[in-house]
Structure 1
């Protein structure tokens, strides 16, 4: 435990830190961060206004920070059980529980090694499992709900387990309320060879080669009506446009990158400029805090 870290009554690790270090964009002021290892610690953490932080992608945190506490999942919520459950068949494997705090890229590497298919379309999403489920993250090759069998969600009223069929999920959307936390999931995976799974993952990964490698939250806007948001922004002549140390990527116009030292205010200014110049309603993929 560091000098700046204390323990709550249930044992959760509590510290005050800049959220910039926990996001893929690298901007954001300070907040009180609670790292919880079990349901008792999570219940205590949810006892005051809070937000849940996963892998920090698709997220722009205000420069002034947050008044609410920020919850991060660790301990039992960061474990992976890929053993076959009793519902499994010769062709389909229903896993044990996979924690919401498990990094998605590491999980996909394991699925590739084991020859387990259904989540190849999420390759390259720098998220944790819980956050990826909450927003139904994915690409044109597939999304998180393709491989879900069951979810466990912590709510202010308690913990509940449900089937994906109980949620009206869709494109980058799960209908899970903002103050509910995906603590664990069970996966529904198809048995293939490692080579077959690897080929699918490589195909999805190849499609990302034109994306920027600098610090970024990911795609800024959802594609409106099946039209590429990046193409619309490019046609508006905005590639390479800068505000402060934030820039619309010259590689892919639907990405805003941090050149080093960007602020959330810089990013917001670029988002406003894009909407003004494109002239069409554009829905953010980013979460904006606050």
Structure 2
């Protein structure tokens, strides 16, 4: 970081300003995650492509909505990037050159846009394609990177163009250019989803709302406490939650982390849980369930971007 002036940050924390004008603060990452755990790191609030390129000059991690993520109690040594400002804005105006009466291709939607608010706005406009992602507490960039979704739909159902910032510069790709699939996009780890264009079917607000309500029914039995979401991917079409439940682990508690009684594939923070508590529960599940389970969570530290 090349700090310039040092204005006061939130709650008295001293903020630095990088050479591109990016605000940089050392903050607890727990405040940015749906689980509510994680130690401190240097957080960059990136508002432009130039600022993003500067932030990527040294090892970094990109942090979106903070779901699907367990951050170590010691934090991480790398820069943590948060897309904000213009990179968290949306333009849903139909592109006249790409849209048809039945299909709308939007303007650019920033990677830092919260997905829940975007889905609600699309519903009001009567645009269909992303209602299957209803309720996912993510930002657009992270949701695209992992192809977030439910059994009723996923991010790649509504994408036209993906803008990526890479170590070599900025480029645009389409879904056809990527080997995407279940909970993965095929986007390399050292690429950041800065913006996307959406491709959506013209419908009506009522019809889109009905699809959202149908998809949301499957979430009614999920825990309402702090959680990253589903811990494990479903192996071979079998429910991971059912396997964990059959192993007698529903309701198991270590420290202040709990395998949710409502749904065994969720780990919740009862208040004051640590990442170590969560890791201990994950290890317990792996030891007791005989079928190999692949994590859906991303664990920090792990692999950072160069």
TM over 0.5: yes
Residue aligning to 2:3: none
**C-alpha deviations, 1:219-250, integer Å up to 9, x for none?**
00000000000000011111100000000000
Matches of 1:212 and 1:179, distance apart in 2? 33
Residue 76 of structure 1 deviates from its aligned partner by 1.3
**Structure 1 stretches of at least 4 aligned residues deviating more than 2 Å after TM superposition:** none
Q: Normalised by the size of structure 2, how large is the TM-score?
A: 0.94
Q: How far does residue 179 in structure 1 lie from its aligned partner after superposition?
A: 1.9
In 2, Cα distance between the equivalents of 1:95 and 1:257? 37
**Structure 1 residue 52 corresponds to structure 2 residue 62:** yes
**Structure 2 equivalent of residue 22 of structure 1:** 32
- Gaps of at least 5 residues in structure 2 are 1-6, 302-306
Correspondent of 1:182 among 193, 197, 203: 193
Q: 1:73 aligns with which of 83, 104, 114?
A: 83
Give the CA deviation at 1:103: 0.1
Q: Distance in 2 between matches of 1:189 and 1:176?
A: 22
Q: 2:143 aligns with which of 127, 132, 136?
A: 132
Q: What is the SS of the residue equivalent to 2:276?
A: helix
Counterparts of 1:253 and 1:261 in 2: how far apart (Å)? 20
Once the 2 structures are TM-superposed, how far is the Cα of residue 171 of structure 1 from its aligned partner? 0.2
SS in 2 for 1:66: coil
Partner of 1:223: 234
Question: What residue in structure 2 maps to residue 170 of structure 1?
Answer: 181
Q: CA deviation at 1:183?
A: 0.3
Q: Where does residue 160 of structure 2 map in the other structure?
A: 149
Alignment of 1:189-204 (within 5 A): 189-204=200-215
Q: Deviations over 1:246-282 (max 9, x none)?
A: 0000000000000000000000000010011111110
2:187 match: secondary structure: coil
CA apart distance, 1:142 = 0.4
Shift of 1:6: 1.5
1:97 aligns with 2:94: no
SS at match of 2:188: coil
**Maintained 8 Å contact 1:78/1:101:** yes
Query: Which TM-score applies when normalising by structure 1?
Result: 0.99
- Could you list the per-position Cα deviations for residues 32-65 of structure 1 after superposition, in whole angstroms to 9, with x for gaps in the alignment? 0001110111111011100000000000000111
CA RMSD after TM alignment: 0.7
Partner of 1:242: 253
Contact 1:79 1:98 (8 Å CA) reproduced: yes
Is structure 2 residue 275 aligned with structure 1 residue 264?
A: yes
**SS state of the match for residue 33, structure 1?**
strand
**Partner-residue secondary structure (3-state), 1:274:** helix
**2:94 corresponds to which residue?**
84
Gaps of 5+ in 1: none
Q: Distance in 1 between matches of 2:248 and 2:283?
A: 15
Give the aligned partner of residue 220 of structure 2: 209
Matched residue pairs, number? Answer: 290
Provide, for residues 143-179 of structure 1, a one-character-per-residue CA deviation record: whole Å limited to 9, x for no partner. Answer: 0000000000011111110111000000001011122
Alpha-carbon shift at residue 25 of structure 1 (Å):
0.2
